[in-house]
Chain A
């Protein structure tokens, strides 16, 4: 993997808040914070760097790409959950909760029966990062956690609230582009997460298939929710579930009117399905 140098851009304004953009690699992807700030350039940069700490810490603990991480050692049976940092047990419990909430379509247990909470950890850590930025006094921003997006209540620019959804191809490809865009301004929604095979191939297993085979019925699913982790988990669950994920989401919404999710699923033949509430979110 090639190096990605942390980037920080700061543009003072003649009046009002300065604009900033920050990008740093972690967990094999890149996290971006951008928005307005009334802090100084130095303070803003320090706040962004500090906000990345929970993400790097989670990476050290949960990465299955790092042979000596507690999760890797757990997967090899060298240590028990009780011997892992306390956060592992907490995440384990959260994964089990999400498995129940999604009726078993989100599962942190791999086809090899090892614990892999990576479907949760990235946005769980990103949520902490966003909280750290808010606590530092940066309230006007949006966050891109490797393709999963969250908008702070205080985001000031209309474009912060408009989130494009990628075509189901890699963002690095010549055919990359935008499938559609949603506008969350004035809604209860703050997060858009997408799962798909475009960047990393078939990597989501179907927890209900024999041998937990890869889910292949869809090429991409985007989920919109109030909360980043909710959107992320449901995106993984919906991808695993396939075409029936739309009905599942509608049923979920009927039973959870305070915590709705909106889902858009892209099929291999180019067809798109979405929940009934998705349409009103499409950017005009």
Chain B
């Protein structure tokens, strides 16, 4: 019997990417990613805080943990602005391919999906000197200095 999992739909495409090791977009995506990694196949109607009206999770049959090789394909996911399907191929823990399958969207939002996937892939392991973000406070900068995100010298 398939496990029912409440997953934020707008995020489930991202969740597939996130489970394969890419950078999630915001913290509220994290629970979705966790759910998707453990589900075999399921659908569930759910109402979430993200104004999403229905939910589906990925058939994450082979990619279940970092370091594995395999691929995962999300079922076609309907969400507020249309539907999207994403498949992720991972080799030795590194994303080697993401394909962006059938999708449709309204309000011109289809432009979002291919970008979203490419961004997640390209952000991996990029060596950069500067981070652009909303104007940080002095305190936030001091805290970030102790992480790998911001470094000096």
A interface, CB within 8 angstroms of B: 1-2, 4, 7, 9, 11, 19-21, 23, 25, 28-30, 32, 34, 122, 142, 144, 146-149, 157-160, 162-173, 175-181, 192-200, 220, 222, 246, 264, 266-274, 278-279, 282-284
B interface, CB within 8 angstroms of A: 10-11, 14, 23-27, 29-30, 50-52, 80-81, 109, 111-112, 115-116, 118-120, 122-123, 126-144, 147, 149-150, 152-153
Q: How far is the CB of B71 from chain A (nearest CB, A)?
A: 22
Contact A279 B118 (CB under 8 A): yes
Contact B147 A195 (CB under 8 A): no
Chain A residue nearest to B32 in the complex (CB): A270
Chain B residue nearest to A194 in the complex (CB): B132
Q: How far is the CB of B23 from chain A (nearest CB, A)?
A: 5
Known: A271-B81, A271-B116, A273-B111. A28 touches B130 (CB 8 A): no
Contact B153 A178 (CB under 8 A): no
Contact B133 A30 (CB under 8 A): no
Q: How far is the CB of B10 from chain A (nearest CB, A)?
A: 4
Contact B147 A162 (CB under 8 A): no
Contact B26 A195 (CB under 8 A): no
CA A9 – CA B3 in complex, angstroms?
Answer: 55
Contact A197 B134 (CB under 8 A): yes
Contact B149 A171 (CB under 8 A): yes
Contact B80 A269 (CB under 8 A): yes
Contact A1 B139 (CB under 8 A): yes
Contact residues in A for B118 (Cβ distance below 8 Å): 279, 282
A-B contact pairs, 23 of them (CB 8 A): A1-B139, A30-B138, A32-B130, A147-B131, A149-B130, A149-B131, A162-B128, A166-B132, A171-B131, A172-B140, A178-B149, A179-B23, A179-B119, A180-B120, A196-B134, A197-B134, A246-B111, A269-B50, A270-B11, A270-B26, A278-B115, A282-B122, A283-B122
Chain B residue nearest to A158 in the complex (CB): B127
Instruction: State which of B81, B126, B128, B144 has its C-beta within 8 Å of the C-beta of A176.
Output: B144
